[in-house]
Amino acid sequence: MPHLWFFAALAAAALWGYSYATTGRILESGMPISLWLLAYTGTASIIYLFMSLHDGAFGSIRTVMRAGNGVWFWVITSVFAAVVANFLITYSISQKNATIASLIEISYPFFTLLFAWLLFREVHLTWATMSGAVLVLAGIGLIYLKG
Interval 4-61: pLDDT, tens: 988 898 899 899 999 999 999 999 999 999 999 999 999 999 999 999 999 988 888 7
**Quick one: residue 97, left, alpha or beta (phi over 0 = left, psi -120 to 50 = alpha)?**
beta
Task: Kindly report the backbone phi and psi dihedral angles of residue 30, in degrees, each rounded to the nearest multiple of 5, phi listed first.
Answer: 110, 0
Q: Are residues 92 and 37 in the same domain?
A: yes
Report the mean per-residue pLDDT for the chain.
Answer: 90
Q: Cα separation of 93 and 100, whole Å?
A: 8
- Specify if 73 maps to a domain: yes
- Specify if 133 maps to a domain: yes
Q: Where in the sequence is the domain holding 132, given as residue range(s)?
A: 106-147
Q: Are residues 128 and 88 in the same domain?
A: no
- The domain total for the chain is 2
Whether the pLDDT of residue 64 is over 80: the answer is no
Distance of CA 76 to the CA centre of its chain: 16
pTM for the full model? 0.83
Q: Are residues 46 and 76 in the same domain?
A: yes
Q: Are residues 58 and 86 in the same domain?
A: yes
